Amino acid sequence: MRKPILAGNWKMNLTYHQAEAMVEELLSLGKAPESVESILLPNFLCIPLLADKLKGTGYQVGAQNMSSEDQGAFTGEISWDMLKDLGVSYCIIGHSERRTLYLENNSQIEKKLRKAVKTGIKPILCVGESLEKRQAGEAKKRIEGQVHRALVGLDQEDLQDLVIAYEPLWAIGSGQAASPEDAEDMCLTIRQWIEKGYGSDLAEKIRILYGGSVKPDNIVSFMEKENIDGALVGGASLKAKDFYALIEGVQNA
C-alpha cells in the first residue's frame, strides 16, 4: 500500500504572522495522523517558522521551488542545502505557475529534478495540460512528454522518493476540478509510463497526486480512485480547518 500524501502549497500567501496563527490553529486541531503524509509548503520566509513549530507533530515542511545550482551569483535563488539546513524534506518542481508565468522550460525542470534527487530533497514533480491540449485530444501525449523530459538520465534508484502531481492547468484555482474519472485516467497514464520505462516495482511504489481545485467536499471522490495517492492543494491549504478536514478526508477514504 502506498502511503497517501496531502501537500498544501501556500503559493505567495500568508505573512509570517498569519502563518504563525494558521499553524497554531492547525496544531490545536491535532497532530498529523501517521496514516497520511501531511506536508505544508509555505513561502521561503515562513519555512524556518514552520520547521520550528511543526517539529515532532507529524507534519513535514516543503518548499515551492529550488535552484538547480549549488551556490554562487544567482540573485533571488534558493539552493538545496539552504533548504535542507532548515529541515525541508520536499520541494515542488515544475509547478504550472513556474512553467507559464516564469517560463521555466523542460530543460530547467530536468536540472532542478536531478539536483533534488541527487541531494536528498524529495521532489514533487508537477505535470499538466492546458484546456487547448485536452480539447485537441493531446492531454496524455503532453503529460508523457513532460514526465519523460524531467526524468531524462535518471535511473530507478534515483527515483525511489519521487512524487508526481497531475495538475490540469484549466482546473488550478478555477473552482472547476477535473472529474475523479478524468484524474484517475491521467494518473494511470503516468503510472503506466513509469512501468514501461522503469519497471513495475517502481511504478507501484511511486505516489501520484491530483491537484486542481481540491476541497474538503470533493477530496474523498478522488482518493477512492486506485491510482490517485493524495492531493496537492492550493487555496484549501491556507485555512487550518480546511487543511485538517482534507487530511481527515484522505485518512477516511
Number of Cβ within a 10 Å radius of residue 221 = 17
**C-alpha span between 136 and 173 (Å, rounded):** 22
Supply 53's cell numbers: 513549530
Please spell the DSSP secondary structure of 166-232, one letter per residue: E--TTTTTTS-PPPHHHHHHHHHHHHHHHHHHH-HHHHHHSEEEE-SS--TTTHHHHHTSTT--EEE
**C-alpha span between 61 and 54 (Å, rounded):** 8
**C-alpha span between 171 and 231 (Å, rounded):** 13
Count of CA atoms in the C-beta half-sphere (13 A) of 235: 11
- C-beta of residue 222 within 8 angstroms of C-beta of residue 183: yes
**C-alpha span between 168 and 178 (Å, rounded):** 8
**C-alpha span between 219 and 222 (Å, rounded):** 5
What count of residues does the chain have? Answer: 253
Catalytic residues: 95, 167
Residues contacting 184, CB < 8 A, separation 6+: 225, 226, 227, 228
